[in-house]
Structure 1
Amino acid sequence: MKLPIIKCKKDFLYITLFFLFSFACIIGLRYEQRLEMQKGIAEKIIRFHVIANSDAKEDQDLKLAVRDAVGIHMSELLKDVSDRSSSEIVIWKNMENMKQTAKKVIADKGFDYDVDICLKETDFPVKTYGAYTFPAGNYEALEIIIGAGKGHNWWCVMYPNMCFSDTMYEVIDDDAKSSLKKVLSDDEYQKVLESGDYKVRFRYLTFLNQLCEDNKNAYIEKGK
C-alpha cells in the first residue's frame, strides 16, 4: 500500500521541479527584456548626479545650492539641443565653466571643498520624476563630487531636461514630456510611465522570492 504514496511523492517532486524551472526561465526572460529596455533608454539620455561632502545639514544644503547653480546654467545651454551626442559636446565644452560655477557657490557659502566633475557611466537606482520612473541600471551622467563625496547624492535627467522646471526639480512640464517622447521609442516611453520596478512576491512559497532576486541580480551583473 505504500508504493502508490511513494510514486505520488515522486510525481509531486517532478511537478514542483518542473514548475520551478519554468518559473525561473520566465523570470529570467522578463529581467533580460527589462535589462535590454534599460540599455535602450540609457543610450538616449544623460543623467545629472551631485554627491555631497557628507550628510551634515550644511553639506546637504550646499549640495542643493551647487545643483541649482550648475543645473540652471546647463538647462540654458542645452535648451536648443536636439540629441544626446550634441548634449555631450555642449557638456564637454562647458565642463571647466561648470566646475568654476560650483567652486564659486562653495566659496560663497564659506567652504573650501574641492570639486570633481566629469561625464561618466554611473549606476543609478530606480528613480521617479513626476509620473516617470526610470529603471535602475548604468547611465551616462554629468557627475559632481563635492569634497569627500561621502554624503547622500541627488540625481535627475539632464537630457532631455526633466530637472529644471521653475524652482521644483521634479516637476515635469509639457515641454519636458514632449522632449522625452521624441527621444525614446514608443515602448521605452511607456516603460518610464510605469509606476515602478517589476517585483514578484509569493505569500506562501517564500523561498521563490529569493529566486526572483537571484535571477534579477544575475541579469544585472550580466549587463555590466
Structure 2
Amino acid sequence: MKQKRDLCLCITCFLIAFLLTLSGGRREEEALAARIAPEILRFHVLANSDRSDDQNLKLKVRTMLLNSIYEELGEKASLEETKSYVLSHKDSLEKKAEHYMKKLGYDYPAHMELTNCYFPTKTYGDMVFPCGNYEAVRVKIGEGKGRNWWCVLYPPLCFTDSSYAVVPDTSKEILRSSMDESDYKRISRESPKIHIRFKLAELLSSKPKPTVPKN
C-alpha cells in the first residue's frame, strides 16, 4: 500500500514539475514575442468554414491579396508604410476580394481590419516566431468560422508556395537591424556550417609510415 502511495506521489510531483516547465517556457516565449512584436506585422485569413471548398477558396483569396499588396507596396516599404497602405486601401481590397470570389462562384463578404491578436508559435523557413500577441492584418471571409492561415506580412515572410519556404535575406536583415541581437538569434534557426571530418582519413594520415629496413 505504501509503495503504491509513494508511486502516486512521485507521478504527481513529476507532472507538476513538467507543467511548471511548460508554463515557464511559454512565459519566456511570450516575453520574447512582446519584445519583437512592435517590429512585425502578421497576416491572418479566416475561411468561411472548414469545408474543403471554403478552405481552398481561403488560400486563393490569400494569394490574390498578398500579390496585390506586395505589388503596390514594392520591396522597400517600411512597417508604417505597410500599415498605412492597408488602412487606406481597406475598402478597395475588400471589394477586390469579393469580386474575385464572385468570379469563382462564391457570394461571400470580405472584411479586413488591423487588429492585435494572439498567435501560436510558428516557423517560417529558418525563422521561428514565438507565441504571443502581435499586430495583424486580419481578413475574414464570410462567417470566418473555418480554419485560419497566417504568416508575417512585414517583413515579407509570406509563403504561398510551401515548397519554397526560404526567408529572403532582405527580410532577415530587416529583422536583425530592428531588434536586439540576442533576440534575433533566438528566432533564427540558421544552421552553422558544419565541417565533416572522416575519422578513417584522419587515422590513415596520422599513422606513422613504416620504416624500410636498409640492406
TM-score (norm 1): 0.68
Structure 1 gap segments, 5+ residues each: 1-16, 196-224
Q: Which residue of 2 aligns with 1:138?
A: 133
Task: Read off the aligned partner of 1:160 and give its amino acid letter.
Answer: P
Paired residues of 1:50 and 1:145 also in contact (CA < 8 A): yes
- Check if 1:149 corresponds to 2:144: yes
Following superposition of structure 1 onto structure 2, how do residues 107-122 of structure 1 map, counting pairs within 5 Å? 107-122=102-117
Identity %: 34
Aligned residues: 176
Of 36, 43, 47, which aligns to 2:38?
43
Contact kept in structure 1, 2:29 and 2:132, CA below 8 Å: no
CA distance in 2, matches of 1:31, 1:149: 28
Can you list the C-alpha shifts for 1:157-196, whole angstroms capped at 9, x where unaligned?
A: 001111158786733222222232223321221121259x
Give the secondary-structure state (helix, strand or coil) at the position aligned to 1:122. strand
Q: What is the identity, as a one-letter code, of the residue corresponding to 2:132? A: G
- 2:97 is the counterpart of 1:102: yes
Cα RMSD of the aligned pairs, angstroms, is 2.9
Give, in whole Å, the separation in 2 of the partners of 1:48 and 1:66. Answer: 12
- Taking structure 1 as reference, are residues 31 and 168 closer, same or farther at Cα in structure 2, changes over 3 Å only? closer
**2:122 equivalent in structure 1:** 127
- Alignment correspondent of 2:52: 57
Distance between the aligned counterparts of 1:110 and 1:33, measured in 2?
Answer: 46
Runs of at least 5 residues in structure 2 that lack an aligned partner in the other structure: 1-12, 191-215
Q: Which amino acid in structure 2 is aligned with residue 182 of structure 1?
A: S
Give the structure 2 partner of residue 89 of structure 1: 84
Secondary structure at 2:99 match in 1: helix
Provide the secondary structure at the position in 2 that maps to 1:133. Answer: strand
Take 1:127 and 1:143, find their aligned partners in 2: how far apart are those partners? 17
Aligned with 2:72 (options 67, 77, 81): 77
Deviations 1:35-59 (A, max 9, x none): 3211011111000000111111111
Provide the C-alpha distance between the structure 2 equivalents of 1:48 and 1:191, rounded to a whole number of angstroms.
Answer: 22
The answer to which of 28-37 and 181-190 deviates more is 28-37
